[in-house]
Amino acid sequence: MHHYHIPARLRATCASRPAWQAWLDELPGLIERCAARWQLTLAAPFDHDDFGTAWVAPAWRADGSAVVLKLSAPIFESLDEIHALRLLAGDPTVMLLDGDDAALALVLERCTPGTPLRALPLAEQDVVIAQLLRRFWRPVAAPQRFASLAHMLAVWGDETRADRARWPDAPLVEAGLALFAELPRSSPGDVLLATDLHAGNVLAAQRAPWLVIDPNPFIGDPAYDVTQHLLNDMAPLHADPWRRIRRLAELCGLDAVRVRWWLFARLAAESRDHWDDDLLALARRLA
């Protein structure tokens, strides 16, 4: 068997859960089987923080076409990525060229030049993110296989409650948890969500100016979907949170108040390694 480099960030992520570590232990064999199955010549994997939950590497098929092999850890937020890529069929995401549902293995369109959207000024990022989200959001007819946003938040809420002894501001965290339960029920209209769309998960391509990679699909309130982009650049939020929220809400055609509620809930109640951070301070400003 060949030696395959495993990025440090992926190792660190998988070390936190036994099931993820077991997957990591089996990863070299999985890479070998996928390379043989799809006749791929692999290069070294991408090694940066945006790929902390998957092994992702450039590859070439037998006909010389450039692709990407992505092998995802069994993290529940990303279990349905392959189904979202099939449904979206390249609009506004990379194309799924082949895949194995059970193995969470994907052969994807290669984005060239592949420059991340974060290379652009924030104002330009905002416009692109809004355009991509509005194309991503679509009703999904029942029966559908995607879990609800409420389910994802219930899992996150359980993780937060298990950490109650370290909460520095219990009333604030409880208020966030209450919104995790209430906001999905009051959604004005549920759609397919990306849930992890930010400027590091949007790449420059040839087929389209920008394509989304790494969607974590759930069904729920589109106002939630703006929050990840907001949280991935904290300086403008600290400078003027309400102005920042209004701008993204207007670009996306959303109710700014709902975006504010969602952002507050995530800042106040999302599980985290360190509770003595500036997220709660920002949540207090939004409360």
Provide the terminal-to-terminal Cα distance of the chain, rounded to the nearest Å: 55
Q: How many residues does the chain have?
A: 287
101 is catalytic: no
Q: Does the structure show a pLDDT above 90 at 215? A: yes
Quote the pLDDT of residue 142: 67
Of the residues 50, 126, 190, 196, which is catalytic? 196
Q: Give pLDDT, residue 229.
A: 98
Q: H/E element holding 125? A: helix 122-136
d(CA 283, CA 260): 10
Partners of 66 in beta bridges: 60
Residue with tokens 């999905």: 184
pTM (predicted TM-score): 0.95
Q: Please say if the pLDDT value at position 136 is more than 90.
A: yes
Residue 236 has pLDDT above 70, yes or no: yes
Q: Model confidence over 21-47: pLDDT tens digits?
A: 999 999 999 999 999 999 999 999 999
Residue with token string 């592949």: 114
**pLDDT-above-70 percentage for the chain:** 99
State yes or no: pLDDT of 50 exceeds 80.
Answer: no
Query: Which amino acid does the sequence have at 45?
Result: P
User: What pLDDT is attached to residue 143?
Assistant: 63
Reported as a single tens digit per residue, the pLDDT across 60-108 is 999 999 999 999 999 999 999 999 999 999 999 999 999 999 999 999 9
Who has greater pLDDT, 3 or 199? 199
Q: Which phi and psi angles does 241 have, rounded to 5°?
A: -60, -40
Is the per-residue pLDDT at 49 higher than 90?
no
Q: What is the pLDDT of residue 141?
A: 79
Backbone angles phi, psi at 103, to 5 degrees: -85, -5
Cis peptide before 116 (omega within 30 of 0): no
pLDDT of residue 1: 63
Domains, the chain, ranges and CATH?
A: 8-109 (3.30.200.20), 117-286 (3.90.1200.10)
Structural tokens at position 40? 């791929």
* pLDDT value, residue 164: 96
Q: State how beta strands 218-220 and 54-60 pair.
A: unpaired
pLDDT reported for residue 17: 92
| Mean pLDDT of all residues in 231-260 | 97
Looking at the predicted structure, is the pLDDT value of residue 209 above 80? yes
pLDDT one-digit tens code per residue, 142-178: 667 899 999 999 999 999 999 999 999 999 999 999 9
Specify the pLDDT at position 73: 96
Beta pairing, strands 41-42 & 96-100 = unpaired
